[in-house]
Amino acid sequence: MTRYFIDAWDPAYGSSIEADGSAGFAGPSEQSTAQVDADLEVPAERWQPLLPPAGLRPPPVVLLVDGVRRIDAGLWTEEEDGESYPGLAASYAAGVVRCDLEQGVAVLAGSRVRRGLFTASPSAADAVAGSIRYEVHRVSGAGEQSKLPAAIQAPLTALEVEVSGDARADAGDDDLLIVDGPLRNRRQLARTIGYIKTQHRQYLPPRLSAVVTSLQPGQRSPVFMTGTTWGGYSWYIRLPGRPGAPWAGIIRAECSSDLSPAAAFALADLSLVTLPRFASTAYKDPRAPQNLIPIAGLERRLRAMLGDSRLLHRALTQSAARAAYEAATRKD
């Protein structure tokens, strides 16, 4: 008889696992081409679920950073030579939640909002809509509008690094910074792990993936190394939550390849006694348990900071119409 597992995630958010639906498949669908070294912490033939060392406690302070972005309007430029380029007017924000685990207090430790005009136009200037300015970001090779959204990620990541540094300006050296998503070019940040809640790629061979799916809540896989462009140390953790499909509640964490293996293993253990305490519950969050409670609250706060998208779209439309009228008047 066929067995069914109901994904805890709200279907509006897609799925926690990007599976291809092939017969018997129960994990990420895309096989990674990265070289993997699975013999770092435990020889591959002896892989098994791991528990944290006895007595290990989470750090006194945990910082969680995330960013949000929104496209406020699509647009086209009109060049003097008759050429036209697509563009996007986007708002994006980054923030940090500081969780003091000893005091049981969580506060917004910093946030920034930016707005940008992303286009390949060589002549485009900042777009001004009332008191709002969209700073121009010239995107090379983005002649198609569908390619422009990816250009927002780089300045958003830079903004996340900026707010992370500010939040740590007066901190000690015993906190832990959790970045929502892959580390990418944030690997220079000390005591930092990337938190990947949706599994798109299969990094491990089937025998080792079976160890991952056998994890119980509060257990992790051994650390392995991936040789991708942003390669580094990685490991899997199963968060507490209701039983489900083999990959339900599993996240992947990563840290910088600049660390020593011993330092990476220590971070993996520290993440194991830290991340589960922030796991969300299904009746409160449609992406439980992977969408961490502080991250969910931060996302809501940041989206509110972006302002009313309808008002911004209207202001951009009026500004463009006014500029077109003034240009036509000058020609006359």
pLDDT tens for each residue of the chain, 332 residues long: 334 334 454 544 555 555 444 333 346 767 777 789 999 999 999 999 999 999 999 999 999 999 999 999 998 888 888 788 888 999 999 999 999 999 999 999 999 999 999 998 888 889 888 889 999 999 887 556 778 899 999 999 999 999 988 888 766 788 999 999 988 878 888 899 999 998 888 899 999 999 999 999 999 999 999 876 677 999 999 999 887 788 889 999 999 999 999 999 999 999 999 999 999 988 788 888 999 999 999 999 999 999 999 999 999 988 888 877 776 776 65
**Tokens for 163?**
């707010």
**Tokens for 183?**
């580390």
SS3 call for 224: strand
Cβ proximity of 264 and 253 under 8 Å: no
Residue 194: strand pairing partners: 179, 254
Q: How far apart are CA 213 and CA 5, in angstroms?
A: 14
**Tokens for 182?**
């892959």
Question: Nearest 5 degrees, angle CA 148-CA 16-CA 161?
Answer: 50
Alpha-helical regions (H) of 168-216: 206-213
Q: Report CA-CA distances (Å) from 156 to 60, 104, 108.
A: 28, 30, 18
pLDDT reported for residue 99? 95
Scored b (16 or more CB within 10 A) or e, 168-195 reads beeeeeebbbbbbbbbeebbebebbbbb
pLDDT reported for residue 286? 84
Q: Is the residue at 326 inside a domain?
A: no
pLDDT reported for residue 29? 64
Cβ proximity of 316 and 73 under 8 Å: yes
Residue 60: partners with Cβ closer than 8 Å, 6 or more residues away: 100, 101, 102, 174, 175
Residue 226: strand pairing partners: 36
Q: Is the residue at 234 inside a domain?
A: yes
Q: Is the residue at 4 inside a domain?
A: no
Pick the closest to residue 272 from 221, 317, 229 (CA basis): 221
What is the largest distance, in Å, between two alpha-carbon atoms of the chain? 81
Residue 263: φ, ψ to 5° = -65, -35
Pick the closest to residue 163 from 113, 110, 114, 115 (CA basis): 110
pLDDT reported for residue 35? 85
Number of separate domains in the chain: 1
Q: Is the residue at 2 inside a domain?
A: no
Residue 143: partners with Cβ closer than 8 Å, 6 or more residues away: 85, 86, 120
Q: Is the residue at 295 inside a domain?
A: yes
pLDDT reported for residue 201? 84
Q: Is the residue at 330 inside a domain?
A: no
- Rounded to the nearest 10°, the torsion over CA 7, 9, 15, 16 is -90
Taking CB atoms within 8 Å and a gap of at least 24, the contacts of 321-327 are none
- Residue 304 belongs to domain spanning: 11-320
Q: Is the residue at 262 inside a domain?
A: yes
Q: Is the residue at 6 inside a domain?
A: no
pLDDT reported for residue 118? 93
pLDDT reported for residue 171? 65
